[in-house]
């Protein structure tokens, strides 16, 4: 069975944020991820992680003053200085939490200049933080209109061209379904550069159970291939989070 991880931005939202860590542990998770934790005191999160023996699998990297701002801007020309400054702040936050991965978001941009900006910023970040695992994630344009990194082939091209051991792909099955329509085939094409997986069902982004995406087959494939990274439930529960966790046992 894959190592399942709870995304606390999406799961257990019936509870206050700091109460979600205990709920995740009681549900059987040993790791969590939080997309934008920057409005919460890092030491409060560290305390919850330690109290419940949880690992922080991943956080996102827009600026720490994310609220009200863009969801990342690593591919946006003209703000390279801001990217470097805010990457440093996000990195310190990730290190305090012991986050396994730091996801660098491209932001809204287009064209060759944006591609060059993204590659240059990622190359700099990988060299600046050689001991931190960094990820990039293709996101479909319906969910995030104008997002620069909206294609898996482009993601592979970028990861390959930078060729840094600490820069890998973040594979989200929901976005893969939206972008390519072929989750299993896209996984086969991308698994060699993938460090982290996120899952949700189509078309409602609910629990990764039996449905349009064949999750029993996908999870079996991960086991057979020896994937040993986290598989994070990043989905919107159809009822309460606890009511919808049968997909793990299944």
- Choosing from 33, 48, 137, 207, the catalytic residue is 137
- From 184, 115, 173, select the one nearest 139 (Cα to Cα): 173
Task: Supply the DSSP symbol for 213.
Answer: S
**101: β partners:** 58, 133
Please indicate whether residue 137 is annotated as part of the active site: yes
**DSSP assignment of 70-127, as one string?**
-S--TT-TT-HHHHHHHHHHHHHHHHHHT-SEEEEP--B--SHHHHHHHHHHHHHHHH
Q: Do 209 and 201 touch, CB atoms closer than 8 A?
A: yes
- Choosing from 33, 48, 207, 234, the catalytic residue is 234
Please indicate whether residue 113 is annotated as part of the active site: no
Pairing mode of beta strands 31-34, 55-61: parallel
**Peptide bond preceding 203 in cis form (omega within 30 of 0):** yes
Rg (CA), the chain: 17
- From 169, 167, 171, select the one nearest 179 (Cα to Cα): 171
- From 87, 83, 96, select the one nearest 42 (Cα to Cα): 96
Active site residues: 137, 234
């Amino acid at each position: 069975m894959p190592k399942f991880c709870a995304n606390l931005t999406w799961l257990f939202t019936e509870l206050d944020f700091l109460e979600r860590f205990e709920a995740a542990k009681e549900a059987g998770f040993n790791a969590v991820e939080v997309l934008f934790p920057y409005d919460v005191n890092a030491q409060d999160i560290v305390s919850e992680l330690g109290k419940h023996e949880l690992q922080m699998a991943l956080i996102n990297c827009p600026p720490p003053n994310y609220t009200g701002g863009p969801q990342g801007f690593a591919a946006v020309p003209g703000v390279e200085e801001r990217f470097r400054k805010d990457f440093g702040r996000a990195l310190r936050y990730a290190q305090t939490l012991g986050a396994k991965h730091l996801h660098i978001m491209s932001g809204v941009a287009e064209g060759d200049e944006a591609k060059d900006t993204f590659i240059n910023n990622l190359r700099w970040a990988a060299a600046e933080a050689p001991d931190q695992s960094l990820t990039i994630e293709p996101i479909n344009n319906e969910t995030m209109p104008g997002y620069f990194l909206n294609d898996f082939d482009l993601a592979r091209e970028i990861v390959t061209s930078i060729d840094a051991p600490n820069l890998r792909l973040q594979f989200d099955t929901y976005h893969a379904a939206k972008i390519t329509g072929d989750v299993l085939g896209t996984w086969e094409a991308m698994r060699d550069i993938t460090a982290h997986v996120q899952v949700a069902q189509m078309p409602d982004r609910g629990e990764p159970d039996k449905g349009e995406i064949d999750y029993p087959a996908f999870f079996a494939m991960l086991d057979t291939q020896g994937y040993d990274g986290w598989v994070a439930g990043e989905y919107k529960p159809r009822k309460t989070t606890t009511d919808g966790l049968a997909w793990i046992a299944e």
